[in-house]
Structure formats: C-alpha cells, structure tokens
Amino acid sequence: MRRSIVTALVLLLLAASPGFGQDCHLGVYADPQGTVTLLYVVPPVFIEFYVVARLDDSVQSFSYRLAGAEIGVEMFLVGGWWGPQGLGPHLPALEGETVNLGECVAASGGEAVVVARYEALCTAGYTGGDLCAEPYPEVDPEHVVYESCDGVSHSCDTGPCLYIEEVLPTGSRSWGAVKSLYR
C-alpha cells in the first residue's frame, strides 16, 4: 500500500512538471520546412535561415537564443520576421529572445512550425560554422521554453543546428564559365 502511494505521488509530480509528455524540438534550418541543415555560402553574401519547431501541441511563443557561427563578428543579423505569417512580436534581449507567433498554432504529429526567419550578412572574412538555438538563460538556463495556447510553459529540446560552410570561389564567376564545366 505504501509503495503504491509513493509511486502515485511520483507520477503525479512528474505529470505536473512543465513539459511532461511533450515532444518538442527547436532547430535552425536553411528552409522553412525544417529539412535542410547545410548551407553553402560564398562571402560576402546575404542569407536567410529559419528557426523551426517540431511538436505535437498548440503553441503561441518560444524563448531561446541563437548561438555560434560568429554572430556579431563576421555574420550580422540584419532583419527577419517572427511567427508563421510574420505577424508575431519579437522581444530581443542581450542573452536571448522571446518570439510570439502572433497566433495560436496547433501542430500535430511533429509537423514543422516556423518560429522565425532571419536575414544575415556574411562578410568577406566569414569562414562558416554551426548556428544553433539554445536555452535563453533568463527564462530557463537548461531548456528552450515554449508557451502553449493555454498559457502553460513547456520545455523543448534543441537541434539540429544549421551548418554554414564557406565555399571558396574558383576561377571565373560568369554564367558562361559555369556552363562550360558541364559540356
């Protein structure tokens, strides 16, 4: 009897924990469908990348930070939009950001939900690297957090990261030179 009471209490505590039973992954991708994790660039160049969530829940906001890939050194964020329709308010801070999707998005079966689209400039000295979504330390130092449409906070796993690789140009860059490689 005592064992069953202790077991019931442990299960009750787990069920009351934020994120229990939630399956969520927040990654950085080169496409809005959340399928491409490798991007080749020839700096200097403007690029687009996406923060995409895969989950089975309703969601209205995410708190995370972007890390890696020399952000602010050789790569500069120059614009973007937040939420699937670009309507969400964006609350940036020094250590992370909270992105409100601008609507309640119901996702099922791990379908992709675009959290944000960023535009960045990779300068001439950019050599590439990983670009990842990580926990926003002021919200939760260990987990990315999302808020479901009923106002409950849940934890979310991170990954995959987008790998941006510099491609060194070789030879001429004209269209004729490219076509001549395939003759």
| Residue 4 Cα distances to 17, 133, 163, angstroms | 20, 41, 49
pLDDT bin (cut points 50, 70, 90) of residue 96 is confident
Q: Which of 166, 162, 141, 167 is nearest to 68 (CA)?
A: 162
Report DSSP state, residue 84: T
The answer as to whether 9 is a domain residue is no
Tell me the CATH number at 85. 2.60.40.680
**Total domains, the chain:** 1
The answer as to whether 12 is a domain residue is no
Instruction: Write out pLDDT tens, residues 157-174.
Output: 999 999 999 887 655 555
The percent of residues above 70 in pLDDT, for the chain, comes to 78
Instruction: Write out pLDDT tens, residues 76-94.
Output: 888 888 888 888 888 777 6
Show the domain range for 71: 19-166
The answer as to whether 179 is a domain residue is no
Q: Find out whether 158 and 140 touch, Cβ atoms under 8 Å.
A: no
The answer as to whether 143 is a domain residue is yes
The answer as to whether 50 is a domain residue is yes
The answer as to whether 123 is a domain residue is yes
Q: What is the pLDDT, as a whole number, of residue 20?
A: 40
The answer as to whether 4 is a domain residue is no
The percent of residues above 90 in pLDDT, for the chain, comes to 40
pLDDT bin (cut points 50, 70, 90) of residue 75 is confident
Residue 23: is its pLDDT beyond 80? yes
The answer as to whether 172 is a domain residue is no
